[in-house]
Amino acid sequence: MRRSFAAIALVILTIGAAAGWIYYHTTRYDEMIDQASARNGLDFYLIKALVFEESWFRAQSRGNAGEVGLMQVSMGAATDFCTRKGFPTLYQERLLDPALNLEIGCWYLRQSYERYRNTPAPELFALLRYNAGQSRADVWLKEALSKPVPAGIAPERYYLSLVDIPDTREYARSILQRYRNRQFWF
């Protein structure tokens, strides 16, 4: 009986510790996300969902194409940000600073959102541009606008079906789903 109680207590402690770690891991940048998203007129939960997808809240994360940080900012986006804001060029290591990475990532997503704000799905096309680039997002938008959404299919689902890069399609779908459900634990 004592062993059962000890085993149960150990399981409870382990689950509690894991839940605490996950909570800390998924909320430690909330204040920075809140500030950067507010400065750029974006929804906090959209940015949090994007950070989850891009880096799972790991500030030192590095992508295969050279993008870095919480929002996986590329040097191209950082250079564009610096040029438009009148700042000196940044070194890539500086992009690992969570606050700066969030600011540049939010600024870039805002630029994407502004580009597609008059489209049928501005958040979707902004995310597609963020992930796959402007030329591809423009191609998908042109295709989406070339014919009506089939009856019985949700517009967003239809637009996603036009994305011919499976990873990008899943990327955008996952972020939008997480954003709407506000699910950041798994």
Task: Please indicate, yes or no, if residue 160 is contained in any of the structural domains.
Answer: yes
Task: Please indicate, yes or no, if residue 169 is contained in any of the structural domains.
Answer: yes
Q: Give per-residue pLDDT as tens, 85-106.
A: 999 989 889 999 999 999 999 9
Task: Please indicate, yes or no, if residue 93 is contained in any of the structural domains.
Answer: yes
List the domain range (segments joined by +) for residue 38.
29-181
User: pTM higher than 0.85, yes or no?
Assistant: yes
pLDDT of residue 87: 92
121: left (phi over 0), alpha (psi -120 to 50) or beta: beta
Going 91 to 97 to 99 to 101, the CA torsion angle's sign is positive
Task: Please indicate, yes or no, if residue 22 is contained in any of the structural domains.
Answer: no
172, 163 in Cβ contact below 8 A? yes
Domain count, the chain: 1
Task: Please indicate, yes or no, if residue 80 is contained in any of the structural domains.
Answer: yes
CATH code for position 88 = 1.10.530.10
pLDDT of residue 165: 98
Task: Please indicate, yes or no, if residue 153 is contained in any of the structural domains.
Answer: yes
Q: Give per-residue pLDDT as tens, 108-119.
A: 999 999 999 999
Residues 74-85 have a mean pLDDT of 95
